[in-house]
Structure 1
Amino acid sequence: MGGTAVVVIDMLNPYRHEDAEPLAESVAGMVGPLSRLIDRVRRGEGKEALLVYVNDNHGDFSATREDLVAAACEGARPDLVEPIVPASDCAFLPKVRHSAFYGTSLEYVLSRNGIERVVLTGQVTEQCILYTALDAYVRHFEVQVPRDAVAALHPDLGEAALRMMELNMHAEIVDADACLR
């Protein structure tokens, strides 16, 4: 069996946009489970996993990891960012659209590390998580989504997206504590 990667999507967010308030409410409920999952990966607990952050560059094509971390930590909700800031030795890929695969080297990073399963975490369930799950599925990766480590803008659409991933992409929908076991 190949390896597992925990992919953290779009969590470096300054929360200064039109739909920031409902998103921040959703993120507040999932940052704890996500932070604990990231800590388990960093400590090597359970099944060994590769940790990869893929984050929207918010239209700034010169932005570095450090720039995106600083903007998020200086944003409206640093309490939602600080628990999940990527370590300097962690893979970090900027993205420009919804899927973490689109226009990034994610597929290459996963294949070079013998990854067969991706655990998709972060925001937004009904957008970036859903589209990344589809792109992972069509690339023949196994997909796992911890329901308590993803955030939705619209709870009903988030639930529908989880159901779509489960039915259409054969994603395993679990709690974060069940990942890497």
Structure 2
Amino acid sequence: METIAMIVMDMLNPYDHDDAETLGKNVEKIVGPLARLIEQAHRQDDVELIYVNDNHGDFAATRDDIEETARKGRRPDLVEPIVPPRNCAFLPKVRHSAFYGTSLEYLLHRLNLRRVVLTGQVTEQCVLYSALDAYIRHFAIRVAPDCVAHIHPDLGEAALRMMERNMGAEILPARRILEA
């Protein structure tokens, strides 16, 4: 059975930035399905759960610092259900793509993983750019639209269409996303 990498992006967010209110309203819709998917992924032997999260400009921040900042932010209700389990990989990032400036590609190759499931925020930014970076690195891509949050609905929908059409991404509901 093929092992899948499930990547949770940028969900540890203090929601203190431009567009945070709009984004927060959209994250409200995905936090339940995403929390259930994280729990499912964490229980499955054939899924490697990996968190990749923006360091919010703090280059000295550890995983615990990023988590604490998010929990103390404006929307702890969106953070608490998706806090990473202690025994999963956690990679801080500095830009939009989960691959840019991180060891994600090395980790995926080291674990011999060829398929990535992208979840988190923001669909038309970090999820889209990570999908492109996965595609050019020859990873198979899956995205669960009920586990990614957008800021702008039209751009989020366009990003999903682009990932499907231009990058061969499978767009599947959370209930099917971890199937082999």
TM-score band (shorter)? over 0.9
> Which residue number in structure 1 is paired with residue 39 of structure 2?
39
2:64 corresponds to 1:97: no
Q: CA RMSD in A?
A: 0.9
Q: 1:103-146: per-residue Cα shift (whole Å, max 9, x none)?
A: 00000111111111000000000000000000000000000000
CA distance in 2, matches of 1:150, 1:95: 18
Q: 1:76-112: per-residue Cα shift (whole Å, max 9, x none)?
A: 1001000110111110000000000000000011111
> Which residue number in structure 2 is paired with residue 179 of structure 1?
177
CA distance in 2, matches of 1:98, 1:49: 24
SS at match of 1:147: strand
* TM-score of the pair, normalised by structure 2: 0.97
> Which residue number in structure 2 is paired with residue 4 of structure 1?
4
CA distance in 2, matches of 1:38, 1:180: 10
> Which residue number in structure 1 is paired with residue 30 of structure 2?
30
Gaps of 5+ in 2: none
Gaps of 5+ in 1: none
SS at match of 2:114: strand
SS at match of 2:50: strand
CA distance in 1, matches of 2:56, 2:178: 31
SS at match of 2:106: helix
User: Sequence identity, in percent?
Assistant: 65
* TM-score of the pair, normalised by structure 1: 0.97
- Equivalent residue letter for 1:27: V
Structure 1's consecutive aligned runs of 4 or more residues displaced over 4 angstroms after TM superposition are none
> Which residue number in structure 1 is paired with residue 86 of structure 2?
88
Partners of 2:122 and 2:149 within 8 A in 1: yes
CA distance in 1, matches of 2:46, 2:156: 28
User: Match for 1:71 among 55, 63, 69?
Assistant: 69
CA distance in 2, matches of 1:133, 1:42: 22
Partners of 1:2 and 1:114 within 8 A in 2: no
